[in-house]
Amino acid sequence: MGRGLIPPIEDYLGRRARVYGGEKAILVDVVPPGADGEDRWAELCALATTAGVDVRGRVVQHRSRPDPGTFVGRGKAEEIRAQARVDGADTLIVGSEISPAQARNLEEATGLKVVDRSQLILDIFAQRAGTKEAALAVELAQLEYLLPRLRGWGQALTDPGGGIGTSGPGETRLEQGRRAIRRRIQAVRRELRKAAQDRAVQQARRRREGPPEIAIVGYTNSGKSTLFNRLTGCDVLVEDKLFATLDTRVRRVALPGGEALLTDTVGFIRDLPHELVPAFRASLGAVRDAAALLLVLDAASPAALDHLRVVREVVAEVVGPDRVPPPTLHVLNKLDLVEIPEELARLDALRLEAVPHVVVSARRGDNMVALWDALCALLPPRRRLPEVAPR
């Protein structure tokens, strides 16, 4: 490897490496006694599938708090090792963020590559980032997440020699790698600051000279991109996967007598790795200055109310405590999937909220005229759009 290049970070992590797709995994999580947690399990499985992982099974450990040594306890770790041999699994995906020590102990106890939920989300972002700025933001998040987790792996990482620029004789290659990674972190931060400044100039120009901006926000996989396509006539990627959209997309909606800019943003998720929060804030700058928000909810999801709470919390954090969030229209999407009585009851619960809302099916195009009418009524008078639905 040439001087100054960063070694593959997996060289310092033993078996604990990134998710590249194609892994055969067992999912594991700790659930308090009596708790259901099915929504968390479904989301973890969806995350793994999005990352290209073949899920072979799952293991539940019922206990009030995770084991400080191996997260699941030694007995359960042995059970996982045995199940992995039967299922042909090579990876263990943990449904919570675990400490470096827990990861190391769990690796040794199970013989599997161990990836926690935060690392899984980071790797999904790395796989799906579509612009240079998004790729830089994800790279920075990965490096900051993995740096404190680097560790030596036997004597193979020991460099007995010293030299100029080292900390003295006997400095390990691990220590050299840490310094190289810190230098890369600083370089990425500089590139991101420049990209953020360029984007701020472009956004300020749009706000001064352009039409009103309407931002679409919502929990991941709620149908935001499908709604964006329906309203703009574009063909943005739509997949039944989490984080199908990572990069902010802006399209001009041409209407008789006026125009608007419609922005499709990255989906939110509960317990977002804190390393990714700055990347989210950067990509959600449109939310702070939008004339209105379309808050999209999957009305067919059992966790719709929990998703609504998460989205509101993220919007409040992005806007900041000193500003009032833009007027918001709640879009209860996926009406075409709401059929059974339990789902209708849940939809009624969402409708009870004293906020402007409309029920639609972005996939089928149901109630698009009602959505546009409601949005026009929500906009400030000087920025209202013609009350005509987009084609």
Q: Is it the case that residue 162 has pLDDT exceeding 50?
A: no
pLDDT at 2: 41
Structure confidence by residue, pLDDT tens digits, 254-286: 654 467 788 888 777 877 776 666 666 666 767
Q: Is it the case that residue 112 has pLDDT exceeding 80?
A: yes
Q: Report the alpha-carbon distance of residue 362 to residue 368 in Å, rounded.
A: 8
| CA neighbor of 40 nearest in space, from 64, 63, 60, 19 | 60
Q: What is the pLDDT confidence band of residue 305, given thresholds at 50, 70 and 90?
A: confident
Q: Report the alpha-carbon distance of residue 198 to residue 315 in Å, rounded.
A: 23
pLDDT at 93: 94
Structure confidence by residue, pLDDT tens digits, 342-390: 666 666 666 656 678 888 999 999 999 889 888 888 776 655 554 444 4
178 touches 167 (CB < 8 A): no
Q: What is the pLDDT confidence band of residue 84, given thresholds at 50, 70 and 90?
A: very high
pLDDT at 77: 94
Helix axes 132-146, 117-128, angle to 10 degrees: 160
124 touches 93 (CB < 8 A): no
pLDDT at 252: 81
Q: What is the pLDDT confidence band of residue 289, given thresholds at 50, 70 and 90?
A: confident
Q: Report the alpha-carbon distance of residue 1 to residue 8 in Å, rounded.
A: 10
pLDDT at 306: 85
Question: Average of pLDDT values for 248-258?
Answer: 65
Structure confidence by residue, pLDDT tens digits, 173-198: 777 778 888 999 999 999 988 887 87
Question: Average of pLDDT values for 21-45?
Answer: 85
Q: Report the alpha-carbon distance of residue 259 to residue 203 in Å, rounded.
A: 17
Beta strands in 63-194 (DSSP E): 91-94, 113-116
Structure confidence by residue, pLDDT tens digits, 29-39: 998 887 767 87
Q: What is the pLDDT confidence band of residue 249, given thresholds at 50, 70 and 90?
A: confident
Q: What is the pLDDT confidence band of residue 203, given thresholds at 50, 70 and 90?
A: low
Question: Average of pLDDT values for 14-24?
Answer: 72
Question: Average of pLDDT values for 94-108?
Answer: 89
| CA neighbor of 372 nearest in space, from 327, 329, 337, 326 | 329
pLDDT at 279: 63
- How many CB atoms sit inside 10 A of residue 209's CB? 7
Q: Which two tokens stand for residue 370?
A: 């009602």
- % residues pLDDT > 70 (the chain): 72
Q: What is the pLDDT confidence band of residue 296, given thresholds at 50, 70 and 90?
A: very high
pLDDT at 374: 86
What domains does the chain contain, in order, with CATH numbers? 1-151+162-209 (3.40.50.11060), 211-383 (3.40.50.300)
Consecutive H or E run containing 144: helix 132-146
pLDDT at 316: 85
CA angle 281, 282, 284 (to 5 degrees): 65
Phi-psi region at 329: left, alpha or beta (left = phi > 0; alpha = psi -120 to 50): beta
